[in-house]
Amino acid sequence: MANTTNAKASGTFALGGDLHINRLGYGAMRLTGEGIWGEPKDIEGAKKVLQRAVELGVNFIDTSDAYGPAVNERLIGDALSPYAKGVIIATKGGLTRQGPNKWLPLGRPEYLRQEVELSLRYLKLERIDLWQLHRIDPKVPVEESLGEIAKLQQEGKIRHVGLSEVKPHEIDQARKVVDIVSVQNQYNLGDRQHEDVVEYCAKHNLGFIPWFPVAAGKLAQPGGKLDAAAKKHNATVSQLSLAWLLHRSPVILPIPGTSSVDHLEENVAASDLKLTEAEWAEIETSAK
């Protein structure tokens, strides 16, 4: 497959009904140090990946104040501000960091407000287009956490609100406090534990943002059915995984991450990969 297609080929989705984004986005988490901690090894290289993503038509970039922490948001602000027209930056809050690969939820209202204010500063934005609660804090009622976010929305500092790693009943609970436009859960061809959430999002026209979108492990091994299908279409397993997500539902918004421009171009090229219904059915069967 050619590796310089445009993300527009992935189709569009109206996030919140008014933000028209190309469905294949970019997850910026990998543009940090090891363990999602500290600066990336190559800061200028990381900026080039972000800039190339926008050049390739990617206009939905996902980050979090916990990536670094703060490193990722600052990097995006430095690399992309002033933002090209139509570029949407989605960020998250609600996790604290204790070190590499360590994360703990904290959903106290005053902390979430502080995070939003800092995200605005680091990202060089006047308003966050999509702010997502990274995790529900079991020690704080979600009504309190999202109640503060609703106030920030009313103040014009947040446009839309999303959730991460939730089940349908939790989305219902959150929607009683603030309008929810998206859900970000782990999901890929080999890990479909959140099918109920995908169906919920499709029913209510919420964006479903799968993190860890590329199939891994045994399913993706050389010589397997996924590898064979990829070779048949002159593609990689990663491209096939992303193309399947785009095929799976029009509300799915994959955000593959990478720290390499070449790999970024390969991922975006998945927008052009088209299989028949029968071929997708065979791949889905082999993934079970």
Which residues share a beta bridge with 12? Answer: 22
The per-residue pLDDT for range 137-172, each reduced to its tens digit, is 999 999 999 999 999 999 999 999 999 999 999 999
Active site residue 67: yes
Q: How far apart are CA 162 and CA 131, in angstroms?
A: 6
- Domain ranges for the chain, please list them: 9-212
Q: How far apart are CA 133 and CA 153, in angstroms?
A: 13
The catalytically annotated residue of 26, 67, 187, 200 is: 67
Six token digits for residue 119: 């995200």
**226 — pLDDT class (breaks 50, 70, 90):** confident
Six token digits for residue 74: 């600052």
- The model's pTM is 0.96
What are the start-end ranges of the H helices in 83-167? 109-123, 142-154
Which residues share a beta bridge with 61? Answer: 26, 89
Q: Which CATH number applies to 9-212?
A: 3.20.20.100
The per-residue pLDDT for range 18-71, each reduced to its tens digit, is 999 999 999 999 999 999 999 999 999 999 999 999 999 999 999 999 999 999
- CA torsion 52-86-68-171 (nearest 10°) is -130
